[in-house]
Each structure stands twice: as C-alpha cells, then as structure tokens.
Structure 1
Amino acid sequence: MKIKLLLHIILLGFGVTAQHSKAENIILISVDGLRWQEVFEGPDPLLNKDKKYWSETALNARQKLMPFFWETIAGQGQLYGNRKLGNKVNLRNEYWFSYPGRSETLCGYYDPKVDSNGYPNNPNENVLEFFNRQDGYMGKVVTFASWDALGRILNRDRNGMLVNLPGEDVEGDGLTQAQQLANEIQHFVLEYFGECRPDAITFALAKAYMQAKHPKVVHIDFADTDNYGHSGDYNNYLDAAHFIDGMIANLWETVQNDSFYKNKTAILVYPDHGRGIGEKWTGHGTSAPRSDETWLVALGPNIAHLGEVSDEGQIYQDRIAQTAASLLGMFFKANHPVGEKIQGITE
C-alpha cells in the first residue's frame, strides 16, 4: 500500500483531497452480510437468475448493482477489499457472525467471550459512547438499527445513548412531519424476518432525525442483505444491496445539501461479516468457509481520492473504530485494547 500512501501525501500537498483539515461529523453504516464478491465483481452469474444487474463485464455489473459505490465513492473516496487484487479486509474474531462482528467493529476489539448472537449487554466500550463523552458531541450520537440486538451490542442500558430498534418510535416534543410519518409507517409493514424491520424504515427514521436534529455522529445498521441471504433468495439479496447503495447515495445528497453537514461529514461503510461461497453462500460462521472476508469504503473530508485500492495489503475490522475517531481528530480509548487506525484512510 506504499504507492497509495505516497499518492495520498502528494494529493494532500496540492490540497485536492478535502476542504477541511478533518471531519466534524461522521456516519457509520453497517451492511449485514453483504459479500465482497458482489461489491467488487457484481452478481454471481451462477446464482443470479433474473439477470437484472447482468452485464458482459464484472466492472459494468458491479456498477449497475451499486452505482453510488462505483461512481461517487470510486471517484471521491476509497474502496478496500478486492481480494482478486490482493487487497484484503477480514474479521479478527473467529466466529464470523453478527454480534461478534459488530462488536469487533464498533469496539475496535475482538473479545473471545462475545461468542453468541444472544450475548447479553456488551461489557466492552464502543466508539459511539466514546464520542458521546466528548465536548460538543454529548447527546448528538445516535443509532438507527434494523436488528434489535444492537441495543445489547451497544449496551444502551449502560450509556443511555439513543439506539432506535425495530418497533420503537422516535420520541420527543416537536417531531417533524417526516419523523411522525416514519414512526407510523413502521407499524404497518409485514414482519418478514422477526426481530428485524425493513431497511427502508430504518433509513426513513434516520434521515428524518438527521434533518430535524442534526446529530454529529450517526450509526445506521442495515440487515436486509443478511436476511435475504439466509432465506436463499439471491435476487432479493441483490435488490437489497442495490437499495442500500441508493439509500447511502440519498444520505450523501442530503449531507451535501445541508450546511451543517456539507464538506464536514465523513462516511464509513462496511459489513459485519461475509458469507460462504458456492452452495454455502446463504450462510456464514465457521461452517461457511471464507465468511470472515469483508470490505470497507470511505468517503468525506481529508480522505484521499484513491478509488478502488489495488495495492496488496491487509486490514482487520477491529481497526475501523480508531479510524472513525481519527477522522474526527480524536484518539479512542476504552476499557480494552483498541486496534490502530488505518493509515490509508487517515493521515
């Protein structure tokens, strides 16, 4: 990755990477169980039956599937994890499923005791509550999640942060019409996946809150890709990825048209784990080989315009939390060790 880092330094010298020395706000987005293969290669031709996103080349197919990733982020940000180029992102934890993956990412730490999706309140401090303790950030750190386990993963009982879960309305005086509508709609959708709500509802609640309250740290946890993956519905799995790409594009447009956020907001997007390959694409965990393989994208102020990072290198997911802190000019300390920041993303 030395060539990319040198390019980063040169670009900084010419002042083309950003309009601010650091971000003031950050949006962290988790995309549950979306494989790097679809992100970097487009739909698997052996699984994709309706050919909605089909193209003669993988480069065109991936752009049809995730146009915001491959037009805006590829032009203005960074994408890590194309293993065909030797650029690797992996989980540090040995379990390769949801609670441990999210805990590792948000805490910057692999705790071997966190070994179940039913694990109780997480004893490990996360980067969101760290942000919430900093001057100017208290009460301005929020999570909107499609999966109800995020309440335990982030241990909202301990830190009191707003962690909005499926079925929960956003409360408070003076809710905007958009917030009221988002609250209402979530009670009129079918429950296809039990403890999860559709990502579109999570998106609507998060966007309406951002427009009304202007939080400085927004964490959004999407789940549709994993749910459709487990159900073996590859076509809807692809649609879910496509719609998530569209929702991230919509958020970026919202950010760039709001003076509170414009040119002052970074975005990091990543999964909590990968998936198996071949007939095991529907699962993850140790029974689905290679589901520890993940990816990462970054966009925003002071993030060099490297596009698809093609240099050989290895990133582990426990480095994302410190990277997020570094983008805001902070150093994340917790009640446990924390992985170091990713040098290619921050200075």
Structure 2
Amino acid sequence: MLSGFSLANAQQTQNVILVTLDGVRWQEVFTGADSTLLFDPVYSPDTSAARKNFWASTQQQRRQLVFPFLWNTVSRQGQLYGNRLKNNRVNNSNPFWFSYPGYNEILSGYADDRIKSNDKIDNPNTTVLEFLHNQPDYKGRIAAFSSWDVIEAAVNEKKTGIYANSGNEPIPSPKTAADSLLNSMMSTIPPQVWDKTVRSDFLTYYMAKNYLLQNRPKVLFMQFDETDGLAHAGRYADDLRMVHAVDAFLADLWKTVQQIPQYAGKTTLIVTTDHGRGHTPKATWKGHGTKTPDSYQMWFAVIGPDTPPTGEQSGGPVLYQNQLAATVARLLGQDFKCEHPVGPPVLTVLKP
C-alpha cells in the first residue's frame, strides 16, 4: 500500500469541503420533484407556482430545476452516487435512520449503537476531523458550521478544540464589518419555529463563507438543516425551494474557491445527507427512522481535481455512509485509523 506521504504527493487535493443537506432524499436528487406531493395543495398550497418552478416532462429536466449546480457542474466534472433506478445504492449502516446517528457515521466512519437519539451529547468517537486536527499540517485549519446546534457535539468541540459554530452561536470577537453584520442578522432573525436550536441556513452559509475568506481552513464541514425541518412540517414546495437555495450556495462556494490560489484546482467538495425519507404512501415523505421504510437510503456527490468526471454512477457494489470519513482522509493522502472500526474509502472517487 502507498504511504500517506506518497499518496499526498500523487494527489492534487489539499483542501476538502464536506457539506450535508439534512434529510434530502435520493429521489429528488436524481428524479426531481415528486408530482404526488408537488401537485397536492396539502403539501404545496400554491400548486401553480410549484409547477412553474419545479415541473418538467422528464426526470432529467426536473432534477436540473431543483439542483442546477449538481446537474450542470458536478455531473459533468465529478460524480454522483445513489440513483437506485440505475442500481447504484448508498445506505446508512447505522440502524436508526435519523440525524445524530447519521452525522456520527459520516464523521467517524463508524455506526455506533450508543448514539441512538438526537440529544446533544458529546460524540465519544474519533471523527475524521479530529484525526486530521491532531496532525501538524491541519492543526487549527479545520472548522465546522451548522444550522443545527447538535453538530458541535457531533464534532465534539469541547474535546477536540475544533472550531464549531452551530445553531444560534454568533461569531466570537467580531473583527470585520462582515462579522458584525452577520452577528446583527443572527440576533435579529428568529430561529426556526419548529426547533429553536436551528438557525436559518442562509446565515450558516454566509458565516461559513466569511470564515473561509478570512481564515482559509484546509477542511470545512457545513451542515444545512432547513431541508429536513420543512419536510417534517409537510411543506414540499417550500422544501424544494430550500434545497434549490442550498444548491445555489454550493455553486457560489465552488466559484469562490476557484478564485483563491490556496483552493483553486486543489479542493474537493463532497455533498451528502444524513438519512433519507419515506416515499410510499406519499405522506411518509414527512418522516424517517426505523418506522419509515427505506429511509436508510442516501446519496453523495464529489467534485475535485482527483475525481474522474464520470458523472452519474450506475451499478456497482452497495456503498455505505461509514465510508465517507475515510474517503475525506484518502483525498488528502491520509489513512484514517483510530480506536474504532472505520469503513473503507470509496476508491472510485480517486483516479486509478
């Protein structure tokens, strides 16, 4: 096996941005809007506007309306995994199919049965962020921004010292006009009505972007949450609008990093989700978890200098959420090992 040193020299990726869209189904990613929800006034009160914004005659057109960045850029320059209609499957390996178990699995590469609630309990497992943070090249160069405040526990900010700005947390010791403006917006805009521990995703994005521009982290984790909250509230058209907005954040982020010498041509972006949702009957879209069949089904996308531009994947072995942590490390030329088992990296995201 190649050493970490030789792997790093063979690869161009020097930075990784990991992004999660909470509770976004593979069905919307690969087939676009679901007509049974989009045209039902219970889930989309303004059905004419919903049709205008998100409906087209083919799945390919519909998915592009919802996720233009994923389908105009990532599909042409990177890879997308999880279209079960093409027998390409990505699953949770944890048995719970909801948020904290999923985030632990993404970050630690390990499905831990001890993490079986969404309670804000510090993660007992070593994450790939901590593994990297403990190496001299990455010390102090890793950050996490999340709309949901439990993510700072999933990252275990207290133990690791990794900067995690989560929930309704302002920017500490603001130094610039942008810092002060974001803090003013944070104090003015109320948290989400369905969960007071969740802030607006646009605040999370612009706080993370502001941090990137000022501090140049080598690894940045971003978690968006409204995509799940709107689904639980049964607001399908609004949920698609939020997903579309996050896709626009990703497009802006990708454009931004290509204009910064540290990042341009040296950065890999990974986009994924913590769990799926129900699909049949249609009302089960509002939920997930073990009582909601198939909500273990997920997806991910990768774009970067070391990832072959093979687009939408078909066939192949079943992949698991626990493989993403080691994939992040491998993209950086590292072999993620720690006190618990770790899923193997997805080697197809790397050039042979």
Normalised to the residue count of structure 1, the TM-score between the two structures is 0.92
Partner in structure 1 of residue 15 of structure 2: 25
Matched residues in 2 for 1:23 and 1:274: separation? 29
Matches within 5 A, 1:66-81: 66-81=67-82
Task: Please say if residues 20 and 264 of structure 1, whose CA atoms lie closer than 8 Å, have aligned partners that are also in contact.
Answer: no
Superposed displacement of residue 171, structure 1: 2.0
Matches within 5 A, 1:199-218: 199-218=201-220
Partner in structure 2 of residue 298 of structure 1: 302
Partner in structure 2 of residue 109 of structure 1: 110
Matched residues in 2 for 1:316 and 1:141: separation? 24
- 2:247 is aligned, of 245, 250, 271, to 245
SS at match of 2:271: strand
- 1:48 is aligned, of 28, 33, 38, to 38
Partner in structure 2 of residue 14 of structure 1: none
- 1:285 has 2:284 as partner: no
Task: Please say if residues 11 and 331 of structure 2, whose CA atoms lie closer than 8 Å, have aligned partners that are also in contact.
Answer: no
SS at match of 1:194: coil
* C-alpha RMSD over aligned residues: 1.3
Gaps of 5+ in 1: 1-18
Partner in structure 1 of residue 89 of structure 2: 88
Superposed displacement of residue 183, structure 1: 2.0
Matched residues in 2 for 1:292 and 1:250: separation? 30
Matched residues in 1 for 2:348 and 2:199: separation? 35
Superposed displacement of residue 190, structure 1: 2.3
SS at match of 2:54: coil
Matched residues in 1 for 2:143 and 2:22: separation? 19
Matched residues in 2 for 1:122 and 1:40: separation? 32
Would you identify which runs of 4 or more consecutive aligned residues in structure 1 move more than 4 Å? none
Task: Please say if residues 143 and 162 of structure 1, whose CA atoms lie closer than 8 Å, have aligned partners that are also in contact.
Answer: yes
Task: Please say if residues 20 and 302 of structure 1, whose CA atoms lie closer than 8 Å, have aligned partners that are also in contact.
Answer: no
Task: Please say if residues 20 and 301 of structure 1, whose CA atoms lie closer than 8 Å, have aligned partners that are also in contact.
Answer: no
Superposed displacement of residue 119, structure 1: 5.4
Matched residues in 2 for 1:234 and 1:279: separation? 11
- 1:323 is aligned, of 318, 322, 327, to 327
Deviation string, structure 1 residues 161-188 (Cα, Å, up to 9, x no partner): 1000122122246x23222222221111
Partner in structure 1 of residue 160 of structure 2: 159
Matched residues in 2 for 1:31 and 1:184: separation? 25
Matched residues in 2 for 1:95 and 1:137: separation? 32
**Counterpart residue type for residue 270 of structure 2:** L
**Counterpart residue type for residue 123 of structure 2:** N
The alignment of Structure 1 onto Structure 2 pairs a total of residues equal to 328
Partner in structure 2 of residue 270 of structure 1: 272
Matched residues in 2 for 1:231 and 1:20: separation? 47
Partner in structure 1 of residue 317 of structure 2: 313
Superposed displacement of residue 21, structure 1: 2.2
- 1:195 is aligned, of 197, 207, 231, to 197
Matched residues in 2 for 1:176 and 1:260: separation? 22
Task: Please say if residues 168 and 198 of structure 2, whose CA atoms lie closer than 8 Å, have aligned partners that are also in contact.
Answer: no
Superposed displacement of residue 215, structure 1: 0.8
- 2:340 is aligned, of 323, 336, 339, to 336
Task: Please say if residues 81 and 294 of structure 1, whose CA atoms lie closer than 8 Å, have aligned partners that are also in contact.
Answer: yes
Superposed displacement of residue 29, structure 1: 0.4
Task: Please say if residues 149 and 168 of structure 2, whose CA atoms lie closer than 8 Å, have aligned partners that are also in contact.
Answer: no
SS at match of 2:35: coil
Matched residues in 2 for 1:24 and 1:176: separation? 27
Matched residues in 1 for 2:178 and 2:303: separation? 27
Task: Please say if residues 145 and 166 of structure 1, whose CA atoms lie closer than 8 Å, have aligned partners that are also in contact.
Answer: yes
Matched residues in 2 for 1:185 and 1:125: separation? 34
SS at match of 2:137: coil
Matched residues in 2 for 1:305 and 1:144: separation? 28
Task: Please say if residues 11 and 333 of structure 2, whose CA atoms lie closer than 8 Å, have aligned partners that are also in contact.
Answer: no
For the structure 1 residues 119 and 112, does the alpha-carbon distance in structure 2 shift closer, same or farther, using more than 3 Å as the test?
farther
Identical aligned residues as a percent: 39
Partner in structure 1 of residue 46 of structure 2: none
- 1:35 has 2:14 as partner: no
Superposed displacement of residue 20, structure 1: 7.5
**Counterpart residue type for residue 40 of structure 1:** F
**Counterpart residue type for residue 317 of structure 1:** Q
Matches within 5 A, 1:142-157: 142-157=143-158
SS at match of 1:46: helix
Matched residues in 1 for 2:95 and 2:83: separation? 21
Matches within 5 A, 1:94-133: 94-118=95-119, 120-133=121-134
SS at match of 1:153: helix
**Counterpart residue type for residue 347 of structure 2:** Q
Gaps of 5+ in 2: 1-8, 40-49
**Counterpart residue type for residue 189 of structure 1:** I
